[in-house]
Amino acid sequence: MLSRRFFIAVAVACLTLLPASATILPVPDLDKLVSTSNLIVVGELLAIERGPRTTITTNGAQVKVGIDQFVVRIDEVISGSAGSPVRVQVVSQNEETWQLPPIEIYGLFFLRKDDSGKLSMPDTNYGLIQVPHGIYGHGATPMDRVVSILTEMLIFPNNRNANSQALFLLRESNGKAANSALRVALATVTDPELRIRIANALVLQGDATSLKYLKEVFLTGPRMTVSDQQQQILGDVMGLFLKDPAAIPDLTALLGSYSAPIRRGAAQALWRTESPKAISGLVKALEDTDVQVRYWGVRGLAEVANQPDWQTDEQTFKTREPEYLSHWKEWARNRR
């Protein structure tokens, strides 16, 4: 079954061995990509030597593939050891359905060396990530060095392709290094649209630190243009992935936003905290002009007050809304 994250995350395709007809890539796993690659290098693709076309069986299906050789010049070794150039066997679907990378593309190559020294690219979706020239890795571990490259790509000015590739990989990592990189980028970049996307990535990781910036965007700062789609994505991600009680003051403040999707996400996140400290915000949600915000206020109060008889689903709430609102408003008055 596909995860909820798969549907919420906005797919941003990296320039890799991407099927020309595909519109969605699998969600990347940066942590696994680094840990399973025993040779990671930065360099240039010098040549592609086309190999035989054949048919293999995968997951019970017959698939036409090509077995090609990539010739890669190495400029920097991130992990492992190898001379330069190297030859890498790449198994990919044939040219009728797959787009091979262009010769002279410069990038980060995630490779696997077997016991005989033969190199392969196990992940043809993310085994090659295009990197601007002049970016080098630094840090104590391979993950640190990879993340440092992606961080430079994320903050690289006037390069939306590099920004998007880096953000797509960093936001799906569970590691502290990637999370720290996103925090640094949020404080560094000046492009408002990119900052919104970075804030969304942090929320997707369950990190509430970006709410301070979102308050500037949706409450106190000069109103910037945020598309309806982006507001909806942000609200959905907030509601699904934030549950830290430490975020309650910022979530409560965001109930004052002009954006209904943001208010919905804030109210749903308050419910997820399951904290008595969220009561003030949940009571405030009862007065909202949006029915879904009011619904999450009712759900949250029933959870915090431990009143299962007053829990409800959204459809039932809509048919009996006055009854639920009356109950919880009276409950709130009696608490004072």
Q: What pTM value is reported for the model?
A: 0.84
Structural domains in the chain, CATH included, are 4-132 (2.40.50), 226-335 (1.25.10.10)
164 three-state secondary structure: helix
Residue 10 clears pLDDT 70, i.e. is over it = no
Confidence of residue 9 (pLDDT cuts 50, 70, 90): very low
Residue 329 clears pLDDT 90, i.e. is over it = yes
Residue 5 clears pLDDT 90, i.e. is over it = no
How far does CA 333 lie from the centroid of its chain? 41
Residue type, 171: R
Question: Torsion angle, CA of 118/124/126/131, rounded to 10 degrees?
Answer: 70
Residue 8 clears pLDDT 60, i.e. is over it = no
Residue 53 clears pLDDT 60, i.e. is over it = yes
Q: pLDDT above 90 covers what percent of the chain? A: 76
Residues 291-317: pLDDT tens digits? 999 999 999 999 999 999 999 999 999
Which of these, 173, 133, 182, 126, lies nearest to 154 by C-alpha position? 182
Confidence of residue 161 (pLDDT cuts 50, 70, 90): very high
Residue type, 191: D
pLDDT score for 91? 84
Residue type, 244: D
Residue 98 clears pLDDT 70, i.e. is over it = no
HSE on the CB side for 143, CA within 13 Å?
Answer: 19
Residue 78 clears pLDDT 90, i.e. is over it = yes
The mean per-residue pLDDT over the stretch 23-32 comes to 79
